[in-house]
Structure 1
């Protein structure tokens, strides 16, 4: 299992996701351009002292990520996806791709995979916070694939 943040914009979200990745031993890949510097104090504070436990790779482009990592299956997260995350069959070597906070994944990235999921929400909210959504998807994927520790 891997997490990819495509052009993340908000340092605390990325820091929280890094902490999530440290807690689950999930590699984290960031796709540039980033909306912050990697030495940002808010990024470091949100990740607390867990950064040394994160397997972090920063890629200059999504093409570079795909070429160098060769992900098994890309699972795109989008509010526009037709399949709810709980109805999707995750696999242990999936790569969950999250888009930027203010605009989501662009169509050209979404088009790279037939696999896309959404998190059902009610009410007037358009989407969930990026770190919250990442946690929901990762833990559901780990639950389905028996990757959660006891």
Structure 2
């Protein structure tokens, strides 16, 4: 199982789309507070359609709480446009945590700074675009990790 982690997501549509991706790949969705919406919000349910009730979603008070529960063996990949290592250069393993920041600011600078080789970016041409939509970034990263970890 892969893990999608959204730290302080702000837009319910992105969390709903990430939930659908999690369900489609047998992954778990982790939402780290503060959330910019209610989980009862009609937009989350609408984006997740009738699948939201089936999504394996966990809500955490903090990222440290999630990491403590996951244990010391857990591997984290921190997605940021401020890192150098490309997504295609990573060998993912079953059980990896794919960590994404909020829509307006990305991951906190301290997390990116401390990520080292675990900090990765989705390659893009240099055309002045700052970043991809959060749910698009989750989809690209999750499916690459899933492709690598599926048998056969």
TM-score for the superposition, normalised by structure 1: 0.92
Between the two proteins, the alignment pairs up a number of residues equal to 148
* Alpha-carbon distance, 1:108 to partner: 2.4
Distance 2:149 2:70 in 1: 21
RMSD (Å) for aligned C-alpha atoms: 1.5
Match of 2:121 in 1: 118
Structure number with higher helix proportion? 2
SS at match of 2:49: helix
Q: Which moved more, 1:77-86 or 1:112-121?
A: 112-121
SS at match of 1:82: coil
1:105-130: CA deviations, max 9, x gaps?
00222355430110111212110000
* Alpha-carbon distance, 1:30 to partner: 0.3
8 Å CA contact retained: 2:83, 2:112: no
Match of 1:37 in 2: 38
Match of 1:139 in 2: 143
Match of 1:46 in 2: 47
Q: How does 1:55-134 map to 2 (within 5 A)?
A: 55-70=56-71, 72-111=74-113, 113-114=115-116, 115-122=118-125, 123-134=127-138
SS at match of 1:97: strand
Distance 2:113 2:130 in 1: 22
Gaps of 5+ in 1: none
8 Å CA contact retained: 2:82, 2:112: no
Match of 1:16 in 2: 17
SS at match of 1:33: coil
SS at match of 1:128: coil
1:30-80: CA deviations, max 9, x gaps?
000001111111111000011122111000111111112226101000001
TM-score for the superposition, normalised by structure 2: 0.91
SS at match of 2:22: helix
